[in-house]
Amino acid sequence: FAARTSTPAAPPRARPPPPRAAPRLESAAMTRSSVLADALKKMSNAEKRGRKQVLLRPVSRVVIKFLQVMQKHGYIGEFELVDDHRAGKIVVELIGRINKCGVINPRFDVPLRDIEKYVNNLLPSRQFGFIILTTTFGIMDHEEARRKHTGGKVLGFVY
């Protein structure tokens, strides 16, 4: 071992303070871009978690009509409107049939001759699933739109 020289030893370093957590902002909620998209995403997530019911809010006429089409085809059970003197709520009974549902944004114009293209692009098979359109005759699935010989704007899909 070599002999130490007479240089003074450096003082021990002080430990740096532990990192602080970022300050939490109170109620920094994002603005709602689409009521329908939020409702469908909530239903899809609740379905994946195995829930029997889901609470959707706020209520809009488009959401109610979309749910009626889903109910007509057996994807959801009963749903009930709850009036809370604000934007309203909907309680939906889930029956475990939704694999995926979503919104198509922007709401593209779909002429009658192009419905088949959207069916091929959005649905996994021709045997099941529905594209939901808003037409001059109201909100309906792609098969009913074909029967009524009308096109419209695509709202979303469910399968």
Q: What is the pTM of this model?
A: 0.80
Q: What integer pLDDT is reported at residue 27 of this predicted model?
A: 56
What the block records as the tokens of 54 is: 């889901």
Using N-to-C axis directions, what is the helix angle for 61-72 and 35-48, rounded to 10°?
40
Q: pLDDT (tens digit, 0 to 9) for every residue of the chain, 159 residues total?
A: 666 666 666 667 777 777 777 666 565 566 788 999 999 999 999 999 999 999 999 999 999 999 999 999 999 999 999 999 999 999 999 999 999 999 999 999 999 999 999 999 999 999 999 999 999 999 999 999 999 999 999 999 999
Q: How far is the CA of 79 from the CAs of 26, 63, 101, 115, 116, in angstroms?
A: 33, 11, 17, 29, 30
